[in-house]
Amino acid sequence: MTDDNRPYSMSYRDVAIHKAMLQDVVRTDAYEKALHQVVKPGFQVLDFGCGTGILSIFASRAGAEQVYAVDRSLFIQVAHSIARGNGFDNIVFFHDDDESFTLDRHVDVIVSEWMGHFLFYEAMLRPLLRLRDRFLADGGVMIPARVSLHAGLLTDASLFEDLSFFRERPYGINFAPIEDTPLCQPELENIEPRQILERTVDLGTLDLHTLKSPPKEFVGKVVPDREATIYGLCGWFSANLTADVAFGTGPKDQPTHWNQVLFPLTRPFQVSPAREVSVRISPPDDTAGGDPTWSWSISDKDQSLRMDELHHRQQLDPYLPKGPLRDRI
């Protein structure tokens, strides 16, 4: 397989991204502990999306007989040099993706740090499941074993005010074509516990040993602990790498490079302990191609508000020129 211009292939050639992930001690220490707990002498281990090869090195240190490191970015050449420079000769590197990678045996462990922001920003889950079905031995181990999604109800008006900047006609200018755009697309944020309601929403858990395909929608319900005005949803995930090794990425957890994802609302939404609230979040369709888009909603028995990133982009189409701008002047 050859490297191309896809965002994954290009972005993961940036050393700064790998530096940020390796500086995430919560993430990296947890993976090292999980691999030392699971890998036994003689084990065959597959590391999917290996990046710098750090997880492959951890697996080798834990006693793996052979490690197969797979990545579709040309950065894998750097990973190879790092491994060999540190004396890890039992790691075999493959510049492949899930479709082109082949192996003449099954492996005892598949490890992957595939999780993007709110799990789905990197579209690696479906390829990981295909590799699992092809190469994981019966009784083999997936790391992570399970991942769960959560959402909080955002009560901080300052974030809404910031995203409403174009609505205020700054400098006396009407920005109507884009005034709602910041409120119609997810944003990466560092949310503090005080900015969300105490009771949060459980959106479900994915078992990586049994999951057939990525879900198209996540739904959860919560009874608010008090009356409040909600300006958006705060999304995060938690990961059980093994039965004993886990970490979270929410506002109350130790900070990680994932932060949280803010799903804004175009208008405030009033909630009360008297009304159960339902939250729905649909991740991007990783089979559709093109730019990933999300949809999300909040509702109770009296009201409902749905946001659709794709729909908003389509509304912007009339304002976007279909040819060179000079032809339209």
- The token pair that represents 318 in the structure block: 């009339």
| Residue 161 appears among annotated catalytic residues | no
For residue 269, the cross-strand partners are 230
Task: Give the span between the Cα atoms of 106 and 138, in whole angstroms.
Answer: 9
Residue 26 has φ and ψ, to the nearest 5°, of -55, -50
Task: Give the span between the Cα atoms of 102 and 96, in whole angstroms.
Answer: 9
Instruction: Please name the residue that has the structure tokens 């959402």.
Output: 151
Query: In 10 A of CB 130, how many CB atoms?
Result: 15
Closest by CA position to 76, among listed 104, 97, 62:
97
| Residue 122 appears among annotated catalytic residues | yes
118: Cβ contacts below 8 Å, ≥ 6 apart: 149, 186, 235, 236, 237, 260, 261, 281, 283
Residue 39 has φ and ψ, to the nearest 5°, of -75, 130
User: Of the listed 32, 113, 189, 309, which one is catalytic?
Assistant: 113
Task: Give the span between the Cα atoms of 55 and 65, in whole angstroms.
Answer: 14
Asked if 196 contacts 155 with a C-beta cutoff of 8 angstroms, the reply is: yes
Residue 313, helix vs strand vs coil = helix
User: Of the listed 32, 122, 189, 309, which one is catalytic?
Assistant: 122
Quick one: angle between helices 25-38 and 54-61, nearest 10? 40
Task: Give the span between the Cα atoms of 7 and 275, in whole angstroms.
Answer: 42
Dihedral of CA 60/208/245/25: which sign?
Answer: positive
Catalytic residues: 113, 122
